[in-house]
Amino acid sequence: MPPALLTTSLVNSIQIGSLYALMALGITLTFSVMKLPNFAHADYFTAGAYAALIVSLSGAQNPIAIMSAAFLVGALTALLSHLAVFKPLESREVSLYTLILASFAVGLIIRYILFTMADYFNLFDLRIGIPLQVLYREGFLILSNIFAWVVPTTIALVILLTLLLNATPLGREMRALANNINLARVIGIPVERVKNSTWLLVGGLAGVAGALWSLQTAVNPLMGWAAIISVFAAAILGGLSSFSGTIIGAYVVAFSENTVILFLNYSFGLDLAYKPAIPFIIIIAVLLIRPGGFTQLLKRGGKLQR
């Protein structure tokens, strides 16, 4: 495998892995606190990407403003989906399977609202208007301004999320809900308020991931759905319960999709068309061999780990 290709694929792995991590952390948090594997998460991501695109098209070039808009739209979309669909279903004590199906339905509704909007305003396959710049070049290593935004933003958000969960009363209450929701109710934790805050947080994170993704690729209503299996593979690698496991899982999936597939192509002639199969292979392998993912490997077990 040529060194230039290897270096580029590693840079891509880190960049894509960071975006997968931002999305997968939201999925892990939703699963831990709400006990819901939420497939509509993909579409909070797309809603965030469209918010970023619209703000950018309106003339704003400040990435902070663009990401704030994406956070807000992702957060509100997630909260609305909870209040309109998941909360009423939970109050009817429906099964987990019904909730999962509902999450597919919510995702479809958001996606086709975005399709309608994109069609009406002609917003298909447009890019955010921040021009690509090379910030660093050393031999085969080329780092762009997009890499400089994606990776540090992800690291900063992961640090902030960790601090929120471990050093604030709200984070402690979220972890209490993840651990034992009945006891949380009994001791007077306002469960619905904490759930609403969790939805805002996971939707916001997905929205920011969407905005960062739209820095590197054109925005379309299917972009979140296209990434969701890879993101679920990352969350499943993390055991759907561990933050550190989920982050490792995100980079492993991105590395497999970007570097391993190229290596297999060069070494064994494996067609690059097999790339979309990688997350499925990871999901099946993890569920068959080690259902607890990295959480088991790290021997931490449990409900919602740092």
Partner 1 sequence: MITVHNLTAGYGKLEILQDLSLSFGAEQFSAVLGPNGSGKSTLMKAIMGINTIFGGSVQLAGRELIGMPTEAIAGLGIAYVPQRENIFDELTVLENLQLGMRSLSPERRVAALKELLELFPILGRRRGQRAGLLSGGEHQMLAIAIAWLSRPQLMLLDEPSAGLAPAVALEVFGVLQELGQQGITLIVVEQNARRILQYCDQAFVLREGQLAFQGTAAECLGDEETIKWYLGVH
| Residues near partner 1 (CB under 8 A) | 169, 172-173, 175-176, 178-180, 182-191, 302-305
| Nearest to partner 1 of 2, 190 (CB atom) | 190
| Nearest to partner 1 of 84, 183 (CB atom) | 183
- The minimum distance between CB 187 and partner 1, in angstroms, equals 6
Query: In the beta sheet, which residues pair with residue 305?
Result: 242
Compute the CA torsion angle 50, 52, 54, 57 (nearest 10 deg).
-130
Neighbouring residues of 101: CB distance < 8 A, sequence distance ≥ 6: none
Question: Using an 8 Å Cβ cutoff, are 50 and 73 in contact?
Answer: yes
| Nearest to partner 1 of 5, 191 (CB atom) | 191
- The minimum distance between CB 19 and partner 1, in angstroms, equals 29
Number of other CB atoms surrounding residue 83 within 10 Å: 14
- The minimum distance between CB 97 and partner 1, in angstroms, equals 20
- The minimum distance between CB 191 and partner 1, in angstroms, equals 6
- The minimum distance between CB 299 and partner 1, in angstroms, equals 13
Of the candidates 152, 171, 161, 203, the one whose C-alpha atom is nearest the C-alpha of residue 23 is 203
- The minimum distance between CB 172 and partner 1, in angstroms, equals 6
Question: Using an 8 Å Cβ cutoff, are 47 and 69 in contact?
Answer: no
Q: What phi and psi, each to the nearest 5 degrees, are found at residue 143?
A: -115, 130
Query: How far is the CA of 241 from the CAs of 39, 86, 246, 258, in angstroms?
Result: 17, 20, 8, 25
Distance, C-alpha 256 to centroid of its chain: 17
| Nearest to partner 1 of 64, 187 (CB atom) | 187
Residue type, 116: T
| Nearest to partner 1 of 206, 240 (CB atom) | 240
| Nearest to partner 1 of 85, 170 (CB atom) | 170
